[in-house]
Chains A and B, each alone.
Chain A
Amino acid sequence: MLMQGHRLAAQQTTVKGKVSDGEGNTLVGVSVSVKGTSIATMTDSKGLFSLQVGQSTATLRFTYVGYKAQEVPLNGRNNIEVTLVSESTALDEIVVIGYGAVAKSDLTGAVSSVKADDLTKGVNVNMQQSLQGRTTGVQIYQKSGEPGAAMSVQIRGITSITGNNAPLYVIDGMPVNDAAAIGSASVAGTTNNPNNRTPLNALNPADIASIEILKDASATAIYGSRGANGVVLITTKKGKEGKITVSYDASVGQQQVAKTQRYMTGEEYTSAINGIIEEGQLNTSVYQPVEGTNDNTDWQDLLLRDAPIQSHDVAISGGNNLTKYHISAGYFDQEGVMLNSATTRYNARINLETGEANKYNVGFSLATAYIKDHYNANGTGLNDNASALYMAQNYDPTAPPYNTDGSYHRSSLMSPMDNPLAVINGQYSLGDTYRTFGNLYAEYFILPSLSAKARVGTDINIGQRNFWVDPSTLAGASFNGYADARDGKRAYYLLEGTLNYNKSFGEHSISAVVGSTYERYTSSSLVANSRDFALPDLTYYGIGTGDASLNGVNNGAQENRLLSYLGRVNYSYAGKYLFTGSLRADGSARFGPEHRFGYFPSVAVAWKAKQEDFLQNVSFLDDLKLRASYGVTGNQPNVNYLYYSTYASGKTAVFDGEKVSTIAPTRNANAYLQWESAHQFDVGLDFALFASRISGSIDYYNRKTSNLLYDVPQPLSTGFSARTENVGSMRNTGMEFSVNGTVVDHQDFKLDAGFNITTLKNQILSLGSVDQFIGSGPGNIGQYSILKPGESMGSFYGYVVDGVWQEGDDFSLAQSGVRPGDLKYRDLDNNKVINADDRVILGKSLPDFYYGFNANLRYKKLALSIFFEGAKGAKMLNSSLVDSYYAVDFRRNKLAELYLNRWTAANPSNEYPSFIPGDVQGSKMVTSKTVEDASYLRLQSVRLSYQLPLPEHFFIRSASVFVNGQNLYTFTNYSGVDPAVNAIGDDILRVDYNSYPLTRTFTAGVNIQF
């Protein structure tokens, strides 16, 4: 009644006006309301509005996505022009999410977005390297210094025990098949490198415009069964309307070995070995002393070199108001710092798009790459099956590399190891990878608010790898040359149809998508090998010239399919309250007919608190948004056909001396196998302070994976070792915090800094009926890890060393036969025998937290950027320590630190044992001495660049030159080659097994735009 009366009494006034942004563009759809009333309207397509207001003294309120809300008192005016100010550049960004895009300010989920400018610059072989340490929730480490080496990428910890733990990569809307066309192989008993080179090397990092990391379930659930490990959305560069631009980026540099482990020199070795023989009064027919000439060979050094690296990228882009294009070509070439390893990549890409707003949109994105990989004898393995670096570390340093006739020198006491140089020169392979991926899409707007979109995509990855084991090596001599040729093909096909709906009415805004997809994955392989070559000169190119009766051939073909339905609704009310709900149903051919479909829902809400009246006047606060989400994502097994009982080729029998093929059950099938599901809760807060000079986010996540896919150990008495089942559960929890600030913002001088940190706690909650599972490591490491409820994934399991037995200790507490100078293990059950019952958990390979820090300093045209990254709390097993503490052979070379400071009667060390053979306690391999803390802080990159001053209207629009250093210094207590390497294929446990050393790289280059 009062209102009514008031209004009647008031004088009606019509106010007209225009809303634009700071650059003179009119703004369409700006919400205009009279403060304190429900009277509201929106600007039209010309940015104009007209509104009946009660009083000419009223205040109008203007709100618009991505812009600061503004209140304008009319003060009697009836025609006003309003300029809205962009909220902040960061919140203005459009962020790609699965099957769509939203303004960053409207995100409801935990999504990290990294633009190309914020990726680590330098020469990066793949996008993962440039993303390392740049954002919260994503742990990336380079597993070795091998060119093109595999990266470990984990988003918010470990999800699965035996399922996949790598995120899903989606390039320009198409999920990519992130599996190598040809897996790792050990040919002719030579070393095997379980780390495949990253298939993502086929994507040129220079083509990337932005990377979005979807972390919480609200963001990932739209990818359903492949979302559990997070999703990495990669958007490549598109053309822009305007004049053609041509850019050329080049960098050329040199790589050095960052660190090697120090082994004994010839003199040190002679003195240590002979000293131990004397100290232990050893029988010299069993333990032969070092005699003869000393060549002081540094075997590691012979395998290593400084190596060049370079990259060149050319891109042409442009377009008109309808059609836009971006065409690029790239060349990348990296030689390894170990002999005979290299990678070379040639890339080309075309992104083409044509369309008219709200009418249609057609385009394609197509990339192709050829990668040539040279592989040397790098990998895991023991003795003669080991890598060249293993042999170099272990080989007699008094022996010469070559005989006087130029042939490789072999020290008979080093058998069965070969001369390391023979191995690095004579055991190698060449890989050719041809990968083409891309997709075509067409979007048609049935109504301005409703469009239908279809997408067809493919990813074809064809590889060939040729191995050669030369007769100049011991392994090659035993076969008289061994060649192995492998063809592998992985293909992926996508069909996708979606309907998109976007509509705002009043304070309500809805955007929705529904669709379905069909995806097909195929793989096939063909392997042929041959040996005994009359003339080995042709190496693997002469595979047909071996002894045909010894030829081997094999092949395989597999297929998987996914059929999915998806839907998502984003709803916002008054620009303050945001809601997202999504559902995906995935059917996978990897499960039996009854269990194929899994359903993956999610919900998220966000509250843009800053938009509330009560925060409007808090001037230091520019933005405040609270988010919460919950959802379910899935994971399917890595392996096909697990539900299917079949027979396949079994162990070959021998009768009458001839080989006879057999068949045996393929697997212990599980018809009930189903989806692993991850339930994730996330709550987060985004903020911006002090005129957005400081902005950041805080998130808490809690992800419980249940129905874990786990190769449950079966009683071996069933004839099967394991069966993939859905048992048990685990939880990952943690906090993510990131902050970016502009410390100084002056026209000539600007300093930005950013910091991010992620904590991680993983805990196995249950393993079903299994109490614990103890796993074995590579080489001769034996049992080294444990899965146990209550503990973290990646737990090392072994013995505690309390010191060294000293003269005068109470030996009645030890196993009979233990001597002063032997290691003193902790005898947990006091039974005077150190055995499997005395093992404890020695730590875990997952860090407690990881972090990154960057600072960008600009003075006029000179810019300096510095970037650190690190991790704390992870442990690593160092196999070089294992080989020195528990030497495979007495006469092998060992780590200098251990042997030069060993226990002797005169030097009663409590740190290192006497190394006199015959410790009755045996080789324990995995101890508190060999499992080391691998925490580190690394100065990952420093870059100095200079923007060249150019005359106006010069044919070169801009040009800059830079120098760059990567992996410059590492602060760590870890004694091995690097605290972040991992030589085993597993990304859960970490083992430094004679790892290919990491490199320190210096490059210089130019960026030119025409």
Chain B
Amino acid sequence: MNSYDFYQILKMTIKMKKISPYISLLILVGCLTSCSKVLDVVPNSEFSPDNALTTEAGIKALLFSAYAEQQTQTNSRFVINDSEMSTDMAFNSAGAENAQLIHIINFTWDPSLGTFQGDVWAPNYRCIRDANGVVENIDGVDASDEVKKQFLAEARVLRAQAYAILYNFFGPVPLRISTEQTGDLVRSTDEEIRNFIESEFVAAIPDLPDPGQEEAFGRFNKGNATGILAKFYLNTKQWQKAANACKTVIDFNYYSTTQYAFKDLFKVENKGINNKEMLLVLPCRNEEGYGNWFMAGAIPAGFKSTPQLPEFVYQASMANFATQYRLRTAFVNSMDENDQRRALICTSYVNSNNVTVNILNDDNARSFKYWDNATVGNNSGNDVPVLRYADILLSRAEALNELSGPTEEAFALINQVRKRAGLADLTTTNTITQDDFRAAIFRERGWEFISEGKRREDLIRQGTFLSLAIARGVSAGLATTDKLLFPIPQSEIDANKLCVQNSGYN
């Protein structure tokens, strides 16, 4: 249909003034009918799946989307806080974020709490969706077998990692391994999901490059993938497998604890593939959408400077949130006076009125692990560690201790971490029993991984998650074994009729 047609109709209609009007009606209607294919409109700014998923560039872009969904830079603070404010480590007050965190602190969280859905469930499942897309379409891609094998391995590891994270928070979840599995789906059994996670890692790791050989920092290699598997083994208490997997990582002789002093590990200038402590990170930039926002919550009200960290030069253009990410006094006091990891903890600061404020007490100390002088607004450029080499060392030490008590190797591993912190070695004279060693491991893990979101899973493994809560004053009626898992997000329960809520959350 175009204007020329219309002109013709008009002309004809005028000519046919004597002819029955029905003819002109037919022409009018008929002409437009013949044009009903005009309703086929193709979206100009979208890719057709037929073209996009058959090229190397297209499938790589989809694989990268799976990575990107895992890289929750800005929301990483919520996952960290969920995992630490429910423990003896951290505390929060004020600000909009406190509306949720107060429930994390008081053990009154329920399935409607947005963080479970927004920060954990949804991004991991979007990663799974795109990883499934790569797994399904890789065969038809026009690329070399080598490339296809590697992409497939990365997709499978991404998917298995996402399931391991979900399992850690929620227990067994619906196991979607194909994009065709839309709609409602039951939760897998415990055995199914554990087997799936393990077998996917095991199958995929051989096709990944060696550590340092990956195309870019942030992608999977044999080292970080094996490390993630090791942590899964550890959290599921498969001690021998955990110990072995950690050994595999150590034996690459690629990672190191001696490269940087502890306080420099997290600096922006030390991030990237050359930092031999970081196996895997959430890569951040001091830019909206990619920033690490932790510092904005950690800086105390009216902060100007702290003599404890003079290198950190605070500027008015750096955000200081109303909400306060705080460290519990007892936890900070449990650290040795000489522990060099204290360098990143602020217990006293000078405020804008030039008054020195002591904040060690009242659970009001602050973790300054992610300070960055180039912070723009909320956004700091410090990567958030997902897996550090110290964790591999401590994990092997823990696994060995569980298998056969505090062995010489176990002592060597923990002392490797303590050495960087400036602490004296543990020995069989001060750490005698398996229980002593286990307690030492968990203390060490606490001090080492402040603001890295490990505390909840560590305490659950240690069996002290609930007892420590009760010791803090949470009522025994709230700190029940049901709380060892977070609830499935209410939105999933509402939309997925086959998905059954965790016990205690109905």
A contact set with B: CB distance below 8 Å: 188-189, 283, 285-286, 288, 292, 382-384, 410, 412-413, 415-416, 442, 444, 446-447, 450, 452, 454, 456, 474-475, 477-479, 495, 497, 499, 501, 514-516, 518, 555-561, 563, 565, 587-589, 593, 596, 640-641, 644-648, 650-666, 668, 712-721, 769-774, 776, 779-780, 782-783, 815-817, 833, 835-837, 886, 888-892, 917, 920, 922-923, 925
Contacts and interface: CB of A to CB of B under 8 A. Distances in A.
11 contacts: A450-B21, A515-B28, A563-B36, A563-B39, A647-B46, A650-B61, A650-B62, A653-B67, A657-B283, A657-B285, A783-B114
Contact of B173 (A497, A712, A717, A769): A717
A851 B21 CA distance: 48
B464 interface: no
Contact of A447 (B21, B179, B321, B357): B21
B3 A456 contact: yes
A111 B416 CA distance: 84
A555 B45 contact: yes
B494 A587 contact: no
B284 to A, nearest CB: 8
A565 B111 CA distance: 51
B130 A664 contact: yes
B71 to A, nearest CB: 6
Contacts of B361: 283, 285
A836 B110 contact: yes
A556 B21 contact: no
B364 A657 contact: no
Interface in B1-43: 1, 3, 6, 9-10, 13-14, 16-17, 21, 24-25, 28-29, 32, 35-36, 38-41, 43
Given A515-B28, A657-B271, A454 B39 contact: no
Contact of A782 (B43, B99, B219, B362): B99
A416 B71 CA distance: 25
Contacts of A720: 129
Contact of A645 (B45, B49, B318, B496): B49
B302 A499 contact: no
B106 interface: yes
Given A589-B41, A717-B185, A925-B99, A646 B47 contact: yes
Nearest to B18: A446
A836 B112 contact: yes
A565 B364 contact: no
B130 A446 contact: no
B129 A665 contact: yes
A288 B21 contact: no
Contacts of B126: 664, 719
Interface string B170-198: 00011010010111110000000000000
A641 B43 contact: yes
B242 interface: no
Contact of B62 (A565, A596, A640, A663): A663
Interface in B80-131: 93-96, 98-99, 102-103, 106, 108, 110-112, 114, 117, 121-122, 125-126, 128-130
Interface in B279-297: 283-285, 288-290, 296
Given A655-B217, A659-B290, 13 more contacts: A189-B378, A285-B358, A444-B10, A475-B377, A495-B3, A556-B45, A589-B39, A653-B68, A654-B290, A657-B272, A715-B492, A780-B99, A888-B96
Given A474-B377, A648-B46, A650-B68, A413 B185 contact: no
Interface of B: 1, 3, 6, 9-10, 13-14, 16-17, 21, 24-25, 28-29, 32, 35-36, 38-41, 43-49, 52-53, 58, 61-62, 64-65, 67-69, 71, 73, 93-96, 98-99, 102-103, 106, 108, 110-112, 114, 117, 121-122, 125-126, 128-130, 133, 173-174, 176, 179, 181-185, 215-219, 271-273, 283-285, 288-290, 296, 301-304, 316-324, 351-353, 357-359, 361-362, 364, 376-378, 475, 478, 489-492, 494-497, 499
A497 B296 contact: no
Nearest to B130: A664
A715 B94 contact: no
Contacts of A922: 99, 102-103, 106, 108
B182 A770 contact: no
A391 B113 CA distance: 27
A640 B43 contact: yes
Given A663-B47, A717-B173, A286 B98 contact: no
Contacts of A665: 129-130, 133, 179
B294 to A, nearest CB: 14
Nearest to B181: A718
Contacts of B357: 285
Nearest to B41: A589
A593 B40 contact: yes
A630 B364 CA distance: 68
A886 B99 contact: yes
Contacts, number: 336
A685 to B, nearest CB: 37
Nearest to A832: B477
Contacts of B129: 665, 718-720
Nearest to A414: B322
B110 A889 contact: no
Nearest to A417: B322
Contact of B218 (A588, A593, A656): A656
A972 to B, nearest CB: 29
Contacts of A776: 114
Given A413-B302, A416-B296, A452-B24, A653 B64 contact: yes
A450 B176 CA distance: 64
A285 B38 contact: no
B218 A654 contact: yes
Contact of B359 (A285, A718, A772, A835): A285
Contact of A514 (B16, B25, B98, B99): B25
**Which of B215, B218, B301 has most chain A Cβ within 10 Å?**
B301
A782 B114 contact: yes
Nearest to A769: B497
A-B complex: 10 closest residue pairs judged by Cβ atoms: A719-B129, A715-B496, A780-B96, A655-B216, A650-B65, A478-B377, A653-B68, A662-B65, A646-B46, A889-B322
A888 B94 contact: yes
Nearest to B363: A286
B45 to A, nearest CB: 5
B114 A716 contact: no
Nearest to A596: B39
Contacts of A456: 3, 6
Contacts of A773: 494
Contacts of A657: 217, 271-272, 283, 285
Contacts of B103: 922
A454 B122 contact: no
Contacts of A447: 21
A565 B29 contact: yes
A446 B13 contact: yes
A474 B317 contact: yes
Contacts of B219: 655
Given A415-B320, A561-B39, A715-B495, A653 B71 contact: yes
A716 B283 contact: no
Nearest to A474: B317
Contacts of B47: 646-648, 663
B303 A412 contact: yes
A718 B496 CA distance: 10
B112 A783 contact: yes
Contact of A383 (B28, B321, B475): B321
A716 B183 CA distance: 10
A189 B183 CA distance: 35
Nearest to B103: A922
Given A497-B6, A516-B28, A917-B94, A652 B289 contact: yes
B495 to A, nearest CB: 5
Nearest to A383: B322
Contact of B288 (A189, A501, A917): A189
Contacts of A652: 68, 289-290
